[in-house]
Structure 1
Amino acid sequence: MSTISFLHSVAGWRKDHLEGEGPETLHKPGIAVIGDECYVFGGGKTFTCSSTLYCASIFTHKWSTIETSGDIPKARLALGMCGFEDKLWITCGFDYSTYFQDTFEFDLTTEKWTQIHSEKHPQARYSFSLLYHNSFMYLFGGVPQFQKRLNDTWQFNTIKKHWEKIEPFGKLPVGRSSHTAIIHNNSMVIFGGLSSNGSRVNDLQMLDLTLLTWFEIETKPAISVIPNLQMSNSESKSKSKSMSMSMLKRRFKRTQFWNSHSPPLMSGGVAMIYLDRYLVSFGGMSTELGEHNYTFVFDFETKEWSNYDKTKRDHLLLEEFLSSQQNTEKKGEISYQINPNLLSELEMKIEDKWNKVMRPPPSFGHVGFARNRNELFVFGGFQKENDEIWIFTLENEIVMDFRLFLESGSLCDF
């Protein structure tokens, strides 16, 4: 394996590797991050599961295997796993035949597993969400044995070491599994998943952990940018037409460059919270797209989704548009020559550039974790044989550069 190189200034996706003997690429392992250490337990491959605990050091760029003792959990996949300070916790999951209803704590100092016996406990399940927040773990949903997917919420006190079922107010989300979940502003936010009737969903639901109340997050219709470069019927009657910079400004300001279309019905992705404002979701299985590798970003302030890949492609289209159009100085403004076949011509010109844009292959059942709240690390997935690790950083400069362009009207500032 080659040495990983973290280039924090690089935005978008990049691919790296870790040295050392790490796990084989696994389907739905448990994962927890404490500081610069990423811990991985369980996961499945070709109907077998792992019970080995691995650690990937982001600081030294190496995998290591932890030799554990005590009440070692049975091998499993699709489990829940969290970590904080010197402790790890895992719960539930299954091994292709057995549904587990148990909880374990791992002490990173003594490297010893201890099974926790709580009077109350969530029923056996897999493919649920488990999040750590302020000394508590929050469990939602999952697939039980011989029942529909669940929509119950449980709280685990990591200090007193016991489970309690939460009876929240508000309209409960539909039961689901394989959804993504994050903590945002003292709330648990869930996105997508497989619903109780087996269909995929793409809704955003939020449980306020102070009020213990569910709310559905209403999202605004998203807008596309590049189609607005197409001319109207009246414009297309002539072979070309001059469009002033002021007209371009009005059109692009109206569409807002950062917005794109909403995510499809999907499950099995991973997500992180970025800058306490954006939810970043990658990959999964989509009803419309199948196994995919799209990255979607939700802005909690504007309540709008954007398709990062479409935004990236639109940015290439815009660059090509600006570089290919003849411009002349006229009354202090820059004019662009627009022709009726503009969009199709631009698409053809950027195809090679787009194919070279680095992004992970389509995947579901993979795992991900956030580091420093501004990077998303992704690896593993169903039937993935490689040891690639992908890192995503939200590309804020796309928005910033374009806004500078709008405000200045100067190509040299873009």
Structure 2
Amino acid sequence: MDKNQIKIKTPKAALKFVMEDNLIIFGGDRKKFGTTNETYMFKTKNRTWEKLETNEKVPVSYYPTSVLYNDSMYVFGGNDHSSIFELNLKNLEWNEIQGKGQIPKSRMGHTALVHENEMFVFGGINFQENINNGLFAFDFRSATWNNIPDPQEFPGITERISHTSKYDPKSKRMIVFGGGYKEDGEDKDYNDICIFNFVTRNWEKRFSFDSDPNAPCGRNDHSAVLLNNKMMIFFGCAKDNTIFFDDIYSFQFGSDLSVNMHSFFDDQLLCDIDFVPFEGKSIQAHKDILEARITEPIDTLEREIGLLDHSESRCLLTYIYSGSFEPKSIGHYQKIPAILTKIGMDFEEDRQKAERKLSQDLQKISQMHSCCK
């Protein structure tokens, strides 16, 4: 860029532009010039860059992450430090924060995002080239780290590098796609979507697309955005940076109403009725929603759930809330269709749709995406 196009403003003016959704860039690798700890701001109104003059308390970083919380940018990783470095956007001064608690090891190639008063750091690789597993939460108020245990039902879900993690404020979830990993010493790449629920603080779903020829290949170092209940995947590379992609994919999570109702049930907020399966812990729900969705009295639903185990009960209630039924559940919960009939819901149409989808998936198993060959 021609230097004549760069307009320098004072730090005070820079703060004003930052508060108006301008872009701040910190650190990175400049190829011939090595890594840098410089900080720049791009002003969207006049499309000009400004180098921010800060104090020199922050180390050079390579593949760090940064998040915005209140009036500061927080940087973690990208060097051999386990500290967090805060850039106060009011006075442009860096401060080192020594966290306490279950402090994660230094890393790069991880992701970080903010939910309420916490920063969540996920994945990455340390400087001995060991891929880190685990999800860590840093509480800004107490400067305390906590490790969130790996989910037993999704082994290996947290061992990845150079993936993308996006925050969905509507459902209060983290949506993860792709990333690299090692298997028997070989570099490989995930082709999956993983969903973490911030309300329950649990990993709740994992979708793998290895057999889907319409899905993007497994990849890392890609970009992603969430837009109107859709995830867009851009570019990336694979196989230890020997394959590069110039493609764009989108993944539709479902209708807004379906997703919101599903999330409303999962979040377990403002519930006013308890259902007790014959096996497993009780499940809370919303009486008004159930009464609007079924034609029979709630007592009928309570009796039927009393004959189901916990998993079957959740499957039934999820369908009542969202009107959706996952193809993989068909045939597994044999009792559900009959119960839906008893409480006044038509399952047949959704069963046929789900079976058609399952049939299509089976036909795709033998096919491989051309770019993965």
- The answer on 1:391 being equivalent to 2:250 is yes
* Residue correspondence of structure 1 range 182-331 to structure 2 within 5 A: 182-222=113-153, 263=157, 265-274=159-168, 275-288=170-183, 290-310=188-208
The answer for the alignment partner of 2:218 in structure 1 is: 362
Deviation of 1:104 after TM superposition, in Å, equals: 1.3
Structure of higher RCO (CA pairs closer than 8 Å, 6+ residues apart): 1
CA-CA distance at 1:70 after TM superposition: 3.8
- Residue pair 1:184, 1:276 contacting (<8 A) in 2 also: no
Give the CA deviation at 1:118: 1.6
Structure 1 letter corresponding to 2:231 = L
Q: Which amino acid aligns with 1:266?
A: R
In terms of fraction of residues, the more helix-rich structure is 2
What TM-score, normalized by structure 1, do the two folds share?
0.54
Match of 2:340 in 1: 408
Q: Which has the higher strand share?
A: 1
Q: Helix, strand or coil: the match of 1:91? A: strand
Deviation at 1:183, TM superposition (A): 0.9
1:69 is aligned to 2:1: no
Identity of aligned residues (%): 22
Q: Is the 8 A contact 1:279 1:298 kept in 2?
A: yes
Q: Secondary structure at the match of 1:369?
A: strand
- 1:90 corresponds to which residue? 25
SS at match of 1:408: helix
The answer on whether the counterparts of 2:224 and 2:231 sit within 8 Å (CA) in structure 1 is yes
Offset at residue 112 of structure 1 (A): 2.6
User: CA 1:264–1:153 in structure 2 vs 1: closer, same or farther (change >3 Å)?
Assistant: closer
1:407 Cα deviation after fit: 5.5
Taking a change above 3 Å as real, the CA distance of residues 367 and 157 of structure 1, as seen in their structure-2 partners, is same
Matches within 5 A, 1:162-181: 162-181=93-112
Residue in structure 2 matched with residue 378 of structure 1 by the alignment: 233
Matched residues, number: 255
What SS does the aligned partner of 1:90 have?
strand
- In structure 1, C-alpha distance between the alignment counterparts of 2:233 and 2:127, rounded to whole Å: 27
Report SS of the residue matched to 1:355. coil
Change (3 A) 1:216 1:111: same
Q: Deviations over 1:369-389 (max 9, x none)?
A: 3346x4433212136655432
Give 3-state SS (helix, strand or coil) of 2:179's partner.
Answer: strand
Shift in Å, 1:368:
2.2
Answer yes or no: is the 8 Å Cα contact 2:55–2:94 preserved in 1: yes
Structure 1 residue ranges (4+ consecutive) displaced by more than 6 angstroms after TM superposition: none
The residue that corresponds to 1:126 in the other structure is 62
Q: State the Cα deviation string for residues 100-141 of structure 1 (Å, max 9, x = none).
A: 121112222233322222224321111110112222211100
d(CA) in 1 for partners of 2:31, 2:236: 16
CA distance 1:262–1:199, shift in 2 (3 Å): closer
**SS of residue matched to 1:298:** strand
Instruction: Give CA-to-partner distance per residue, 1:234-271, whole Å, 9 cap, x none.
Output: xxxxxxxxxxxxxxxxxxxxxxxxxx555152111001
